[in-house]
Amino acid sequence: MKTPHRFVCLLLLTAVSTSIMADDDPYLWLESVEGENALAWARGQNQQSLEYLEAHPAFDSIHERALEILTSDDRIAYPSLMGGAIYNFWRDADHVRGIWRTTSLEGYRNESPGWDTILDIDALADQEEENWVWAGSGCRYPDYDRCLIGLSIGGADAAVRREFDLETRQFVEDGFVLPESKSSLGWRDRDSVFYGPAFSPEQVTDSGYPRTVRIWQRGTPKEESVLVYEGEQTDVASWATRFWDGDDYYDMIIRVPDFFSRHYYRYVDGEVRRIDIPSDANLVGMLNGQLLVDLKSDWTVGDQTFSQGALVAGPFESFEAGEPELTVVYQPGARSSITAVSTTDSTVLVNILDNVVSRLVRFTHEDGEWQQQALDVPELGTISVVTADDRSDRYFYNYTGFLTPSTLYEADAMADTHQQVRAEPAWFNKDGMQVAQYEAASADGEKIPYFVVTPDGFVANGTFPTLLSAYGGFEVSRRPFYSGITGSAWLERGGVYVLANIRGGGEFGPRWHQAALKENRQRAFDDLIAVSEDLIERGITSSEHLGIQGGSNGGLLVGAVMVQRPDLYNAVVCQVPLLDMKRYHLLLAGASWMAEYGDPDDPAQWEYISAYSPYQNVSADADYPKAFFTTSTRDDRVHPGHARKMVARMVDQGHDVLYYENIEGGHGGAANQKQQAYISALMFAYLHGQLASNSQ
């Protein structure tokens, strides 16, 4: 709870454009999300594609195994620490929509934790005859007596918010309740919340998120909530949160002018006071009065310059007074970065990537100086802090790798001790499999690292089917991970898996991300092309057996690369993508991503966007691989019109294309484990069908 709630457009998406004027676009009718004609078109495409994909000999066995993995009781029930107790949201075969449950810390350490169900979403959906999907909870610190529960219809970002009593296990009658919307709601105290309405055009920004911050008192209509801050129409959003440092709290308002800018204000005694940190820096927490700030660019204070990528800190009052008294907590090197910052009662935990391998370092503030110690955690894998307790130094972290099943540890940050409390079973046989890391030289000479996971019996003879995945945007780092589905559906069946750490991501800090922003977007595409060519040159695969996969921003990536270099690939999996870059900023949350891609209404920016926009550049004369596009009708972040229009255009141009639109599922593409298993089976059946050779 020390770390403030951060604005998440979560998993961060990609855009599309078109060189023709919107009025001349013959496929605009497909942007009508639930239009009768558009849905009829989608269902028709689904029928054709599903008949083809489900007929693949491997589909049924892949689907059955994926469902078994995703609903198994052997999965780790990841903890959330609240008030010394453990909370968990869980889905399985008997709880398709899921249950929210709790147990004691002592109980959680046992093989049978003795879970106590708080809320059953399946039962609630049946009772209310609504397609509820869990959309998270926010519980009131420090008492944890009331929570604000989010319930999405079909997996959309927009959600219903309801106040819930943890003691009675009931929704609060006449409590804080909001109908479905992208409104914000967060606790101040038991009888008031910060509220950002998003029900009408005048209440939202161009990106569709709340523009105002209000205080809503219990027992009063939300329409009578008191306005305390108002952002600009062109902003992404504004919201507020109360975060804590020990027994002290700070009411903070966060204005987001664009996706990578934050203006922080303290709200106190009816006044709004700006906190003096750079607009592109992130406030990532507090410890004993020290404000922690993650720098995205150099910051000069007085005669001292603090470098891009550093974690710095200083007394909160100095920032509020406009005279920050800064100290460097940690400065990453050229091939390292900070991926996450967490706090316990007396420490700051910093997750560091060194050449895409995780380390965990503890920092304490003693006698005005920051002391650091590398923590004793497993090496050569990916580490993620799952949850931390700000009333003790207890935290839980997860360790994983491509061939290492996830293992959960309970640890003490000050004592530097840990013990294993959970471990997933091996979902596939890794015997004979190998992991290697290589580098490819991109078009401008930059070295692009990538991981290669090879199956048993691999020989570098260019015949092995290979799936290459990347993201390359929004400073999101792609790290080694264990996937039972990828392992059983692909690696065990003779496939090679590759993960590329291209520019646009955050693997090497802000500079790696900023190298592919706006007019430099082509670098991300060049990086993926360079890795593809390097795989072929090394004999790991050949173009006949190489496929690429990406979702959201990664969907834009693989869509653009397919259009630019169709000769390199024989399969393309393009999921919940941005593809029409001319209109992306006009669709749903698209305006919030202009800091990443640029403004297509600006002729100078459209000039470079139009050069790569997949929807505008797809050609009837090109020989594209048989691509597979997926989207979701209920995705209210990236508009399903992107995938729909791209497929319609390609079909009309005479290309062979596969398409699947999930009628629910939100931006993740699937609303529950059964849907996720089905979509995974479709994807891997497609890949085996296209890339063949050694696959089974």
Catalytic residues: 552, 667
Q: Count CB neighbours of 419 within 10 A.
A: 9
Determine the residue type at 665. G
Rounded CA separation 496/467 (Å): 6
Output b/e per residue, 623-655; b: 16+ Cβ within 10 A: ebbebbbbbbbbbbbbbbbbbbbbbbbbeeeeb
Q: Backbone phi, then psi, for 615, in 5-degree steps?
A: -65, -35
Nearest to 486 by CA among 65, 3, 23, 14: 65
Residue 502 near residue 522, CB atoms below 8 Å: no
Tell me the C-alpha to C-alpha distance, in Å, between residue 573 and each of 317, 339, 423.
51, 27, 31
Q: What are phi and psi of 270, to 5 degrees?
A: 80, 5
* Cα–Cα distance, 219 to 224 (Å, whole number): 10
The per-residue DSSP string of 363-425 comes to: EEEETTEEEEEE----SSSEEEEEEE-TTSSEEEEEEEETTEEEEEEEEETTTTEEEEEEEPP
Distance CA 507, CA 513 (A): 8
How far, in Å, CA of 557 to CA of 576, rounded? 12
CA dist., res. 247 & res. 421, Å (int): 30
Hunting for tokens 């089976």 — which residue is that?
Answer: 681
List of long-range contacts for 295-303, beta carbons under 8 Å, 24+ apart: 295/510, 296/260, 296/510, 296/514, 297/510, 299/326, 301/326
Q: Do 433 and 493 touch, CB atoms closer than 8 A?
A: no
What gap in Å lies between CA 402 and CA 61, rounded to an integer? 22
